[in-house]
Amino acid sequence: MRVPFSWVKEYVDWRGSVEELAELLTMSGTEVEGIDWVGAPADPDNLSRFVVGKVLTRDKHPNADKLSLCTVEVGEAHGGVHQIVCGADNFQAGDTVAVSLTGATLESGLKLKKANLRGVESHGMMMSEQELGYEEKSPGIVILPDEWIVGAPLQDYLPVSEAVLELELTSNRPDCFSIYGIAREVAAAARLELAPPPTAGPAVLGGAPAAESLAVEVADPDLCPRYAAQVIRGVRVGDSPAWLKARLTHAGMRPISNVVDVTNYVMLGWGQPLHAFDAGKIRGAKLVARRAHVGERIVTLDGMERTLDDHMVVIADVERPLVIAGVFGSIDAEVDAHTTDLVLEAANFSGPNILRTELHTGIRSEASNRFEKGLDANLVPGGLDFASRLLADLCGGVVAPGTVDVWSEAPSLPRLSYRPAKADDLLGYAVPAQEQAGILRRLECEVDEGGAPSAPSHAAPSTAEWTITPPTFRPDLVREVDLIEEVGRIAGYDLAPETLPRHRTAGGLTGPQQVRRAIRRALAGCGLDEAITYTFVAPDALDPLGLPEGDVRLSPVKLSNPMSVEQSVMRTMLLPGLIGAVRANVDRLNDPPNLFEIGSVYLWDDQTSPAPAQAAEPGAVLPHEPEAVGIVLAGPLEVESWTGAGRPTDFSTLKGIVEAALRALRLTADFVPLGDAVAHFPYLHPGKAALVSVPGAGGVGAVGLLRPDVAAAYGVDDLKLYFAALALDRIAPVALKTATFEDLGAYPPAAQDLAVIVDRGIAAADVIAVARRAGGKLTRDVHVFDVYEGGQVPADKRSLALRVVMRSPERTLSERDIAGVRAKILTALERELAAALR
């Protein structure tokens, strides 16, 4: 909300700067986002060059048909009479005008200099509303009231330069959505006198009573608790005076006409939205507040035809709707240049219903922004009186006696119990009892102290209990703690003493957080960069992967309100996002990156769950959200430098990175060929891919080379991409287990090397697994240290050299022990894999 500084000062005698006011409001709970200076530069020397002038003569320019040569009185302090050339034609001798003298800097940044126009000198300029900043375009200069003092600073009458406070208001404070409401906050926080409400009615009433010209019916009081109207006759619709245009413009609204501007001015100043009807366009001389009929249509003021439903409220005459209540008017009863009689509406509507109407129509106005928050119905009469007085003064109208006011019943005021001692306990510092009472009274609460004597500055007895009646414009004050919060923010939160916490709670990462941190550090240590890609993807994001029909990954979660088709479903794999990050870097001529990502995927699998009871749609089914790790290698881990070429990545590089990540979790990994799982990973090269398993967790993912045709389909043609996908939700439960003590061994190990011949199709991992199992508890390690294929080995076979390490914690192994282990291993290899000792 935009709040002109000069407007606030009309209602409260603030003597400080605008910066001090912003600090006061912020510290008392009304957030000031910034201060916007509008108009001409605000330094005193510049403002002194804007003065009130009077046109003494106006003659035709001797050398130009469309220019006038004028003499203008600007006061003795500014040089008396100045000669000014003007191009406007909407003034005459004797008019009071706004003058900017030579040397003044305008809002546009233009600095006036002595000019020579068609051979005639001009000293200064008579200003238009456009040059003052009140209109986007102005046909002529601004004509000021004759009673303004010639030579006086223009800033005394009009905001040539203005500071505007930008406020961020909360939805539970509808009372602050007005200038008078902000002034009330300033007066309470600064202990200043608040001016009376600006709601005095017109001095003179005339004509037939309003009730004789207009009838009002409220058909749905649950949606329209109060509806009131006044009648103003004989108005003249035209331009608003400059001061009114300035106020509206600086507050963020566009001037339209004097009638509409008055309604907006009252809404901004008092907080009650208003609507003016052309009385001659109301058929049947009756207004009805009712629910719209299903399919009923209305053409709003923006020229658009809108279809209504029976959840919306309209203000209608006896034949058709005239207003979408609280939101937007229609052209059927619009005030125009031919309007002479007005019906002025002030009403109160259901906030939730107005909010629903806004959402369904797509219309949000300054009025609906206030109504949706729940306005006080007691604002209605003051708004009508305020507006009718201005309409009488500015539009020449005569206000009819009486108001047509339909209000079924005023709600009862809440009465809250309040304990001053409790306030001290909750705030953590003492606020004298009488100060608490003073604060609440300055906020217009009624305070009944129960006949307790007024001790000037002492704390109230711990048993004291008051009765507080909040004002009707504060619907947020419903509990004792709400009142205590008011006392705290006005007394000053800065009074709270600085204390250390009474208890110190131990911090630490949760188990899943520790797992994520360990993986991040391990992968970053391997030279990879972490990526964060979009959770929302296109429906065809997985098409290039060739997943089989019926795969759960091809049925993503669909968004009901997507931002675009490209982000209309939730990802089921991390791969497309990581490839997209690689492609984006390559397209920008960056080196191919090596990336990893830790994030959730969303699956409609057999692990879906119902929504919790507090969800927006209790009972709805939620997708399974497993956490995954994705790794993509696209370039060398070490860049080329003067020390040598960069080290290229290959399958072994990816395998080593995965092993390093799992080692950081105190886990070991087993890698086996895809086998029957190749259908689940059709996007990986079948001869350069492997499944990853972890003891205690089973299969946790796969690693391998992305098929070239798949990479090309994603727009990456010239790179080999190696990809790993790991299921973090399966890894986490067995990760980072506490390491147990293991004796390093007082007895020396013994090693035996075996060369066995096996079929080429048998994996080395299978040979190692059989040897470890057969070797028994004395076998501590088995690994392959050499592979031979040559003339001494059959063509369909190969020789694997195994090193078997044995150790006993109890004794030094004998030759008999070593020979026994060796024999068991050879027997098992021969039986299970048809291996032969070379």
pLDDT at 503: 67
pLDDT at 287 over 80: yes
| CA angle (436, 440, 441) in 5-degree steps | 115
The domains found in the chain, sorted by start residue, are 2-40+163-190 (3.30.56.10), 44-159 (2.40.50.140), 210-407 (3.50.40.10), 416-495 (3.30.56.10), 511-611+620-734 (3.30.930.10), 750-837 (3.30.70.380)
Kindly indicate the confidence band of residue 504, based on its pLDDT and cuts at 50, 70 and 90: low
- Alpha-carbon gap, residue 632 to 574, rounded angstroms: 10
Residue 453 has pLDDT above 50, yes or no: no
pLDDT tens per residue across span 781-822: 999 999 999 888 998 999 999 999 999 988 999 999 999 999
Give me the helix-helix angle, 179-190 and 18-27, nearest 10°.
Answer: 80
pLDDT band for position 741 (50/70/90)?
confident
Q: Residue 500's pLDDT band (boundaries 50, 70, 90)? A: confident
Least confident range from 136-140, 499-503, 577-581: namely 499-503
What local confidence, expressed as pLDDT, does residue 737 receive?
Answer: 87
- pLDDT in the model for residue 835: 95
More confident residue, 533 or 763: 533
pLDDT above 50 for 457: no
Q: Is the pLDDT of residue 182 over 70?
A: yes
* Residues making up the chain, counted from first to last: 838
Q: Check residue 524 and give its pLDDT.
A: 96
Q: Which helix (H) or strand (E) holds 22?
A: helix 18-27
Burial 574-602 (b: 16+ CB within 10 A, else e): bbbbbbbbbbebbeeeeebbbbbbbbbbb
Most confident of 78-82, 406-410, 496-500, 608-612: 78-82
**pLDDT in the model for residue 451:** 61
In terms of Cβ atoms closer than 10 Å to its own Cβ (0-12, 13-18, 19+), residue 683 is buried
Task: Give the lowest-confidence range in 97-106, 344-353, 482-491, 493-502.
Answer: 493-502
**Residue 204: Cβ-neighbour burial (10 angstroms; 0-12, 13-18, 19+):** exposed
396-407 pLDDT, tens digit per residue, is: 999 999 999 999
Determine the pLDDT at residue 611.
Answer: 84
Q: Which residues pair with 801 in a beta bridge?
A: 755, 786
pTM: 0.66
Distance CA 620, CA 643 (A): 60
Type and span of the H or E element at 404: strand 404-407
And the tokens for 362?
Answer: 């797509």
> Among 578, 547, 598, which residue's Cα sits nearest to residue 723?
578
pLDDT of residue 68: 93
Residue 678 has pLDDT above 50, yes or no: yes
d(C-alpha 795, C-alpha 705), whole Å:
28
Tell me what pLDDT residue 786 has: 94
Distance CA 736, CA 749 (A): 29
- pLDDT at 136 exceeding the cut of 90: no
Q: What is the mean pLDDT of the chain?
A: 92
Give residue-wise pLDDT tens across range 327-370: 999 999 999 999 999 999 999 999 999 999 998 898 999 999 99
Within 34-174, residue ranges assigned H as helices are: 44-47, 129-132
- pLDDT given at position 103: 93
pLDDT above 90: percentage of residues in the chain = 81
State mean pLDDT over 57-67.
91
pLDDT at 755 exceeding the cut of 90: yes
| Weakest-pLDDT range from 58-72, 458-472, 820-834 | 458-472
Predicted confidence at residue 461, as pLDDT, reads: 62
* Amino acid 456: pLDDT: 45
Can you state the percent helix, strand and coil of the chain, rounding each to 5?
30, 25, 45
Hey, CA dihedral for 435, 441, 442, 445, is it positive or negative?
Answer: positive
**Sheet strand arrangement including 2-4:** 2-4, 161-168, 31-39
For the stretch 217-234, pLDDT in tens is 999 999 999 999 999 999
- Strands 286-291 and 215-218: what pairing? parallel
- Answer whether residue 692 shows pLDDT above 70: yes
Q: Is the pLDDT of residue 619 over 90?
A: no
